[in-house]
């Protein structure tokens, strides 16, 4: 029995790790059976430099550090948190470990022994491709004897047409990546972009280009050509000849031994060398205008790249620049032309700025961090730098209005949130915020229900075939707030949890009509009629996942804020409320199990809050002022931890 429970525990953990998130249940079970959960105390050594490989180690809780010894001192190369793994280089190459890995604090690690790891790679090709890409980032230069960088990433940026702000984006992206990760960043530009970079960064000295027509393995040659900007990023200007410069790729490889991120601003006209540089990159940011001609050109480029390499499609991030020509309006039409997912959208820059300054000629992410362009670049850089902050908002009926109070403090203190996920009331509040409404607007909306009669106007009783309430009035209210908005129209990534009542499984909603998806997520079983979306009969996601921190983990979010607005058993006992009708019976029964599930989800969060007012019952939306205030108080209580996440 203990063995079965241990297997289920491992399977539960594996399902929440980004590394294994896309595997089938069969493959996840294979990994679970092959692995062991191992506890390491603070300062325990997992393995030492020059040891032979024995296993893959994946961090579940706690932190590890990878370091090398130089002149008798430990030099830390990287701190590894939840979801990160080590040991892969030695496992795949057969060479001894190049670093020592040690527990920073008490940690739990998923350990897959060497023999079992080899078997997994044979049976799950998807993982073999992923680990091959990781090996590329961690072992860029075989000629480097002294390891300086644990993992390096080449990010190439290009556009399929000129004058859509590629260099502006490259500079702002590099600066934002430095601000968010605090790691070593170098921006590599071609001489044609040199003047633009000088203007954007206010550089007074010329950026003398270095010719990429011979091998560069002499540190002094490279260092003499690198310009060190006061922002902390380094800049290297390359003299690039169309059809030539065979050593450009070697030069980029050399830089990966010195920098965590090498950001390359490539020309829009693709020659052989640029094409090869794209293939060698770990990420490809392809900017395109939103008109039909530009989208077709971008789609053709992606098609050519995919023909040249089987796994390159996974590296491509298409970024729409809302700049210039007449755009194709709908998101679906854009994707149909591209035949590829759209990763992000850059809003058009308002060139008037403040005081008549042309803000397209300065680094926006440092000078105007709150403009929409800067926010978009910041989200992109945080994902590239693996430092996303995600917010999970729980179900909770009227108590879910406390989420607005939490968001009020997050807004005031400018805590960056990169993605929001929500269930039921958490989905509703999250959708309002993601749509661009601030918390002042949310409070104004909530104030409309401060009279009890306003709540009852939303109740349209139905013949109880599949629910007591039809939901037409609720839908009308949601339409008044969101209209025909889709997820693509939102200001930041947002996902909703619902439950397929027939298959009894979680459903993640992140496309299509926002109102339809919200209706599904708030459809309390027995109270509201279920909602059919794409042939699936959906109800309130709270019955299966009331606080979706696991979704944030699967998406690779490294810092998680969780808000559990469900009352605990002690909260219910303190309220001294009586169950007086069928609605009370249904909701209280559901919330009893939801609270336990939500508390378990809180264990995955870096900051977990529980804003509840025991005297407010599940249907008392007219007590919004009291509940929102409680959310503010809870957020202020955890403010030091929230600010620490943003560092």
Q: Where in the sequence numbering do the catalytic residues fall?
A: 424, 540
The alpha carbon of residue 522 and the mean position of all alpha carbons in its chain are separated, in whole angstroms, by: 25
Question: Helix 425-434 to helix 439-447 angle, to the nearest 10 degrees?
Answer: 130
Q: Quick check: 422 and 548 in contact, CB under 8 A?
A: yes
- 643 to 352, 413, 492, 565: CA distances (angstroms): 33, 8, 20, 21
CA angle 647, 609, 103 (to 5 degrees): 50
Cα(538)–Cα(157) distance, integer angstroms: 41
Q: Quick check: 384 and 319 in contact, CB under 8 A?
A: no
Q: Quick check: 227 and 203 in contact, CB under 8 A?
A: yes
Strand (E) or helix (H) holding 603: none
Q: Which residues pair with 236 in a beta bridge?
A: 188
Q: Which residues pair with 264 in a beta bridge?
A: 156, 188
DSSP per-residue codes, 119-150: HHHHH-HHHHHHHHHHHHHH-S-TT-SS---S
Backbone torsions φ then ψ of 443, nearest 5 degrees: -65, -35
| SS3 call for 543 | helix
- Those residues whose C-beta lies under 8 Å from the C-beta of residue 435, and which sit 6 or more positions away, are 481, 482, 485, 489, 490, 491, 514
């Amino acid at each position: 029995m203990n063995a079965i429970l241990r297997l289920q525990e491992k399977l539960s953990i594996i399902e929440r790790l980004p590394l294994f998130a896309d595997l089938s249940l069969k493959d996840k079970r294979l990994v679970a059976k092959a692995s062991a959960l191992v506890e390491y105390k603070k300062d325990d050594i997992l393995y030492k430099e020059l040891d032979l490989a024995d296993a893959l180690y994946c961090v579940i809780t706690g932190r590890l550090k990878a370091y090398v010894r130089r002149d008798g001192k430990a030099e830390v190369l990287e701190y590894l948190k939840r979801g990160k793994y080590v040991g892969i280089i030695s496992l795949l190459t057969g060479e001894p470990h190049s670093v020592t890995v040690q527990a920073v604090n008490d940690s739990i690690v998923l350990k897959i022994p060497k023999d079992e790891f080899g078997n997994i790679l044979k049976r799950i090709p998807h993982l073999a491709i992923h680990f091959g890409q990781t090996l590329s980032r961690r072992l860029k230069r075989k000629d480097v004897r002294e390891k300086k960088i644990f993992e390096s990433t080449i990010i190439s940026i290009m556009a399929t047409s000129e004058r859509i702000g590629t260099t502006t984006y490259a500079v702002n992206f590099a600066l934002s990546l430095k601000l968010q990760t605090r790691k070593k960043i170098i921006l590599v530009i071609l001489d044609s972009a040199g003047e633009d970079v000088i203007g954007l960064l206010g550089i007074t000295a010329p950026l003398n280009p270095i010719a990429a027509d011979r091998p560069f393995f002499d540190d002094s040659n490279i260092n003499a050509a690198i310009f060190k900007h006061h922002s902390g990023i380094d800049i290297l200007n390359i003299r690039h000849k169309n059809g030539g410069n065979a050593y450009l790729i070697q030069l980029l490889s050399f830089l990966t031994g010195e920098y965590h991120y090498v950001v390359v601003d490539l020309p829009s006209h693709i020659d052989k060398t640029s094409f090869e540089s794209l293939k060698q990159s770990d990420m490809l940011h392809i900017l395109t205008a939103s008109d039909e001609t530009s989208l077709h050109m971008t789609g053709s480029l992606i098609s050519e790249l995919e023909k040249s390499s089987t796994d390159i499609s996974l590296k491509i991030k298409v970024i729409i620049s809302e700049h210039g020509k007449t755009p194709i309006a709908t998101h679906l039409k854009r994707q149909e032309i591209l035949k590829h997912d759209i990763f992000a959208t850059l809003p058009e820059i308002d060139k008037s700025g403040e005081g008549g300054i042309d803000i397209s000629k300065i680094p926006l992410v440092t000078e105007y961090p709150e403009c929409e362009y800067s926010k978009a670049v910041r989200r992109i850089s945080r994902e590239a730098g693996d430092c996303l902050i995600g917010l999970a908002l729980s179900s909770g009926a009227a108590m879910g209005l406390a989420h607005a109070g939490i968001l009020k403090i997050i807004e005031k203190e400018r805590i960056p949130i990169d993605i929001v996920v929500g269930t039921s009331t958490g989905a509703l509040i999250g959708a309002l915020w993601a749509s661009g409404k601030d918390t002042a607007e949310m409070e104004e909306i909530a104030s409309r229900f401060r009279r009890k009669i306003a709540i009852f106007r939303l109740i349209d009783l139905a013949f109880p075939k599949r629910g007591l309430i039809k939901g037409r009035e609720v839908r009308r209210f949601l339409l008044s707030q969101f209209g025909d908005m889709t997820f693509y129209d939102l200001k930041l990534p947002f996902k909703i949890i619902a439950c397929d009542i027939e298959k009894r499984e979680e459903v993640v909603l992140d496309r299509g009509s926002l109102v339809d998806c919200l209706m599904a997520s708030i459809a309390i079983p027995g109270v509201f009629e279920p909602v059919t979306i794409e042939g699936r009969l959906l109800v309130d996601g709270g019955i299966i996942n009331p606080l979706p921190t696991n979704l944030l983990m699967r998406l690779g979010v490294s810092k998680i804020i969780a808000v559990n607005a469900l009352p605990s058993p002690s909260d219910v006992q303190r309220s001294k409320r009586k169950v007086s009708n069928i609605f009370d019976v249904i909701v209280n029964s559901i919330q009893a199990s939801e609270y336990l599930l939500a508390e378990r989800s809180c264990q995955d969060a870096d900051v977990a809050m529980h804003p509840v007012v025991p005297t407010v019952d599940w249907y008392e939306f007219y007590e919004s002022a009291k509940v929102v205030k409680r959310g503010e108080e809870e957020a202020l209580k955890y403010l030091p931890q929230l600010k620490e996440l943003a560092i």
